[in-house]
Structure 1
Amino acid sequence: MAAHADRRFADLSGGERQRVLLARALAQQPDVLVLDEPTNHLDIRHQVELLALLRAQRTTTLVALHDLNAAASVCDRLHVLAGGTLVASGPPREVLTPDLLAEVFGVRAAVTRHPLTGDPLIAFDHRTPADRPPEPPPFMGN
């Protein structure tokens, strides 16, 4: 944000404001950092940069994220809430399962390994049930 030092905070875009607020928080060198949707208003490049920066800080950070793929890539531990109740807690590989995603979020999804990082990667089925092809029959080997 150094290139924008001459601009007033009120004149910054939502993403630029988000980055300034995070920089201010990090400048205080907190023992614990609590962030609510820190990637909100950021384009994908700045989301990736921000999450990498948080990971590199080695500071205990509690982050509320709705982007489960981002959470899987940056968090050591996930806590999934449904209706204000904790329904799952643990490492992303253990928590993010197709059954949990269906139960908590009501979505059909597959969880695979990210080809670049090995982190869990969630592929969501964005089709309605009526638009989905029929399930293939189970394989019956000889």
Structure 2
Amino acid sequence: MWYVLFLGVVICILMALRMLFFPARFKFKEVSFENFVFLAITYAVIMIGFGMLYLLLELKGYHIFNDVAASSAPGPFYSRLGTAIYLSAVTLFSVGFGDVAPVGMGRFLAIIEALLGYTIPAAFVVRTFIDFDPAARGKY
């Protein structure tokens, strides 16, 4: 069951990224509320997805993050879930605060997530301008 959940989360993250880089039916005619919602949903899926990856690996027995504020003993499930989502959010949107630090395999995941966090806005802007520019689409 753990492997199915893990694979499902990875597939959700990849599908969100696919929609960003290869939109099937979105027509970005201008910067709009729909574009903003699309970007927010993409960020939310990636943030929650990586949070779930951190949590699933932690529950599997891998030591993925150190929580400075918590005791050394593993906390209850919801506490660990909150910490995993928090670690994901601060990694995706910044370089982290230092109160929760990835360790071991978590560092590799954090690098991938931080890279995505920095490239998604650029990809979104470029994609918006390519789809907005009639010359770039071959329509004059």
The TM-score, its normalising length taken from structure 1, stands at 0.27
- Higher RCO (Cα < 8 Å, 6 or more apart): 2
